[in-house]
Structure 1
Amino acid sequence: MAILDEVAAWKLEAADEDSKRYFYHIGEVRDLENGSKSYVIGRKGTGKTAICKYFETTEDYNRFCIKLSFKEFPFNLLYGLEDKDYTRPSQYISLWKYFIYNSILKMMATNAAVDSSTRGRLSAIYPTDSFDYMSSVIQKWTKKSMGLAILGVSGQSATDRQIQKLEDIWQELIPAMEKIITDHVDGSKYYVVFDELDEDYRNYWEEDSRSKYISLVTSLFKAVSNVKRVFSERNIGIHPIVFLRDDIYELLSDPDKNKWEDQKISLNWKREKIKHMLGFRISRSFDEHSDYFNFDIMFPRILQHKTVNLNSNRIVNVFDFIYELTHSRPRDFVRFLRDCAKSSIEQGHKLITSDTVRGIDSEYSNHLRQELINEVSGVIPDINNILSVIGATHNQRFSPDKFIELIENYAKSNDCDNYTKNLGPLYIAKILFHFSIIGNAPRSSGNRPVYKFQREYLTLNNNEPIVVHRGLLRTLGLQ
């Protein structure tokens, strides 16, 4: 297969891709494997799904993994399973520990190293021949009959219990599950992966949903921390891992949050790291078993021209041109180069030309806009209108006062969503900054724009000029 055919077949979603061929084994994965890290925080497109799939598909005789996906899951079912002994936002800690322990016991039921008697009793509760989706499995776990069966395995009498619902026995059930595990677990490593937790984030503007959702996610972080402490003290290899969007993580507020920082991995891709990833990916496109990933050698092998001539007669290399259009995420580069490869094939080229790179600018800009709308709409429902209002000014740069005035005027219009009206222009500006829709142009950088994706702890400075990201200029009609 010609190289452009392979690049044109790259997938945006890691879940759809051959992870054994294209997964870039970043150093952070080792910290997750040995249990020193537990939380993976990053924006869409930064590689959370790729890492999740790596754990899901990498198994061995002494390595097991279950992924708990909450995509299209009825979150109202979870909201009803509070532990009344905890106050907000900790009322779901027992629920999450229950899910983690169920996952461990289910994996133990298939592990030949666990004693046959225990394995037999667990197999009766966790059949291995089930092809149910994980969402239906979780729903089965939340039935009171499941809790009673587990209590029976633990040796506690449960047949004559008069309970109305599962949460009536949290205080007996959780310690009983811990005892089954600690008494019978072997030296294997068990990974429980939580993914796609943002399903109910779309309802964030509803106050009741917002409060319950934040409590639910906060409780998960606290539960993971507690489980790790319980089993690390016994030197047991149980490693729950949570994948979460960074904007949701920033909304969590808890006295323990500072402690979570030691367990957190932030997926930020600097220029050199992106280059290494691309070098590896292109090398694997030539040879699926290659471990050679020198960017300076591999990247030019898919290009007809190494530079792009801009309208201002400025000449830049192809990587720098693409980098300025993106948010420096793997998905950004995969999309851009994939679209370049497809366009080049249609034009009959064997390699990507500079004209093709420039021609993809508008198409990529439209993709970036839609992706940002999908990300931000959970917080600002009419984000698309706000982007259109910014585009109508025909300005890329604003003074802070002018930008706030622009948002204020929109908030007064009939087009503005009622929820957005109540957010306030400064809050909206902060959200746009968080998602690198806008950045600042500080004097300290020679008025060059800086964006959130470049510096994790960067915050909006209301005393510096505001700049719309270069990748959005085409779709907003600013260029």
Structure 2
Amino acid sequence: MKNNTLKNIADNWKLEAKLEDSEKYFFNNDQVNDIVQKDKCYVIGRKGSGKSAISEHILKQSKHDCFSVKLNFKNFPFNELYSLDNQTYTPPNQYITLWKYLIYSNICRLMVQNESIDSTVRNTLEKLYPKSAIKSLARTISKWTSAEFGATVLGNGGNIKVERESNRNEIPWIEKTNILEDIIFDHCDNSKYFVVFDELDEDYRTIQNTKTTDQYIFLLTSLFKAVQDIKSTFFDTGLQIKPIVFLRDDIYTLIKDSDKNKWRDFKVEIEWDKAKLKQLLAYRISKDYDETLSKALPFQKAWDKIFFREDIGFGNKQEKKIHSFDFIARSTHLRPRDFVQYIQKCAEETSSNNHKFIKEQNIKFVDRAFSNYLKDEIIDEVFPVLPEIEQYFQIFANIRKWNFTLQEFTKEYNKYLKAGTIQEKNIDYVLDTLYNFSVIGNQHKSRKDKFFYKYMHTNMTFNRTENIVIHRGLFKALQL
């Protein structure tokens, strides 16, 4: 007899939130409410922590008094933006006007869709911002900021009009920013307007030199400051202008600005622990068990719908036993994406063999494939800052231990350095970075069963006096 819940999970759980049925699987919590209902506008979290799921949820909020648009920078030619700086500002503020212009332009575009806005205003704005969907963000930005952008928008005594120029537009896009701001002040209603910035890390993967890196960080810094400016501008107006920035935490730490501490009032940090993950998984499993349930099953009851009731053996002789959730958790970085991947593969393996429940043998069979997945995820994430990451993995494999001293690592590292296999001479930088991405951790000096990883203790730094431990999720991929 087949387990339909397992089959649903095998077929429908995806790594990419946009490929899932977001209305079915989205797990709403207090942090999401802070973003949608309150003034939070900076969403910071690790890769795989669920930022994209939240952004997709916001996009689905659209209704008669709620409008949203997503600016997706995936595969975006960032050089288009680098060339649009405002020379009246010094670094890192030179792109503030650009971001404000893009946000205001998108608000005006959303106003066109809102039938509560005066029809004359909507018809006027539609001449500049047609209702048709944005097919190419790069093409749209290039058009909106060009000198020939179809018209001059003028505000005049509470009215707006579009004046066509016979040749070139006499008012540059930088000056239009203030005009658009006035239009929003004068004609926008109390509906919610979300402008979502996501996948801003795309250029982070390809930066190759210091100049490009600086430009990229300046661009992001300007975006955060532009959003802060807009929130301040509309604070007392009653207008609900909501630009929201989603960004990876490791990139956020690269932003250095005197105003950064002020952003705390607007920031939400997406963090997960075992308790929160159990709530998330109970919700998702419950939806695949019975979508009509008014609330999620308790965690253990939901877990028992797909997992066989047994503890999982581990250790050299497999004599130690732990709950199957905890066994899986040891291989993850405690991110939703990790659990979705692991459980979906378990469900796929079990369902394809016509078994009713996921058992120990299925979990351990999937463990190897999951290890390769985690390694690939880490390479993709770390490569921009440590281009030689695969060589460092090879060093770990050569040591052939998951637990070793700093001296052992240094000895093997220097062999690669001497042979010219790696170029990075600053071993401290390498170790700090590997620790920050939870590739490695520290082992407690006296309590040998206690480990410290960045994803578990976000404020901790690498301790050079303690042994180095490889994250368990990489054991199989590194053949340890």
TM range (shorter): over 0.9
* Worse-matched range after superposition: 464-473 or 146-155: 146-155
1:296-317 superposed Cα distances (whole Å, 9 cap, x missing partner): 2111110123311223311111
Following superposition, the deviation at residue 134 of structure 1 comes to 3.4
1:281-336 superposed Cα distances (whole Å, 9 cap, x missing partner): 10001122332231021111101233112233111110110010100011111111
Give 2:437's aligned amino acid: F
Does 2:16 correspond to 1:13?
yes
CA pair 350-72 structure 1, distance change in 2 beyond 3 A: same
Contact 2:72 2:198 in 1 (8 A): yes
Following superposition, the deviation at residue 384 of structure 1 comes to 1.2
The counterpart of 1:305, out of the listed 294, 309, 315, is 309
The counterpart of 1:117, out of the listed 117, 120, 140, is 120
Residue 413 of structure 2 corresponds to 407
1:54-76 superposed Cα distances (whole Å, 9 cap, x missing partner): 01112110000010000111111
Contact 2:151 2:162 in 1 (8 A): no
- In 2: Cα distance, 1:146 partner to 1:458 partner: 51
DSSP-derived class of the 1:452 partner: coil
* Worse-matched range after superposition: 376-385 or 363-372: 376-385
DSSP-derived class of the 1:453 partner: coil
Unpaired segments of 5 or more residues in structure 1? none
- In 2: Cα distance, 1:407 partner to 1:158 partner: 66
Residue 58 of structure 1 corresponds to 61
Residue 210 of structure 1 corresponds to 213
- In 1: Cα distance, 2:165 partner to 2:324 partner: 69
Following superposition, the deviation at residue 279 of structure 1 comes to 0.4
Residue 77 of structure 1 corresponds to 80
Residue 395 of structure 2 corresponds to 389
Give 1:430's aligned amino acid: D
1:401-423 superposed Cα distances (whole Å, 9 cap, x missing partner): 4334443443333222x4xx25x
* Worse-matched range after superposition: 183-192 or 427-436: 427-436
The TM-score with structure 1 as length reference comes to 0.93
The counterpart of 1:331, out of the listed 326, 337, 342, is 337
- In 1: Cα distance, 2:406 partner to 2:449 partner: 14
Residue 103 of structure 1 corresponds to 106
Residue 232 of structure 2 corresponds to 229
- In 1: Cα distance, 2:342 partner to 2:399 partner: 27
Contact 2:443 2:468 in 1 (8 A): yes
Contact 1:308 1:358 in 2 (8 A): no
Identity percentage over the alignment? 39
Following superposition, the deviation at residue 232 of structure 1 comes to 1.3
DSSP-derived class of the 1:109 partner: helix
- In 1: Cα distance, 2:446 partner to 2:138 partner: 51
Following superposition, the deviation at residue 444 of structure 1 comes to 7.5
Following superposition, the deviation at residue 195 of structure 1 comes to 0.5
Does 2:296 correspond to 1:292?
yes
DSSP-derived class of the 2:237 partner: coil
Give 1:207's aligned amino acid: T
* Worse-matched range after superposition: 150-159 or 326-335: 150-159
Contact 2:151 2:169 in 1 (8 A): no
The counterpart of 2:454, out of the listed 449, 452, 455, is 452
- In 2: Cα distance, 1:376 partner to 1:198 partner: 12
The counterpart of 2:6, out of the listed 4, 7, 30, is 4
- In 1: Cα distance, 2:292 partner to 2:89 partner: 51
Residue 363 of structure 1 corresponds to 369
- In 1: Cα distance, 2:218 partner to 2:415 partner: 35
- In 2: Cα distance, 1:320 partner to 1:33 partner: 32
Does 2:188 correspond to 1:182?
no
Residue 436 of structure 2 corresponds to 434
* Worse-matched range after superposition: 137-146 or 81-90: 137-146
- In 1: Cα distance, 2:339 partner to 2:417 partner: 35
- In 1: Cα distance, 2:278 partner to 2:290 partner: 18
Residue 91 of structure 1 corresponds to 94
Give 2:91's aligned amino acid: R
- In 2: Cα distance, 1:441 partner to 1:115 partner: 65
- In 1: Cα distance, 2:162 partner to 2:5 partner: 62
- In 2: Cα distance, 1:188 partner to 1:242 partner: 20
How many residues align? The count is 471
Unpaired segments of 5 or more residues in structure 2? none
CA pair 298-179 structure 1, distance change in 2 beyond 3 A: same
Contact 2:152 2:163 in 1 (8 A): no
CA pair 151-302 structure 1, distance change in 2 beyond 3 A: same
CA pair 256-156 structure 1, distance change in 2 beyond 3 A: farther
Following superposition, the deviation at residue 433 of structure 1 comes to 0.8
Following superposition, the deviation at residue 151 of structure 1 comes to 4.6
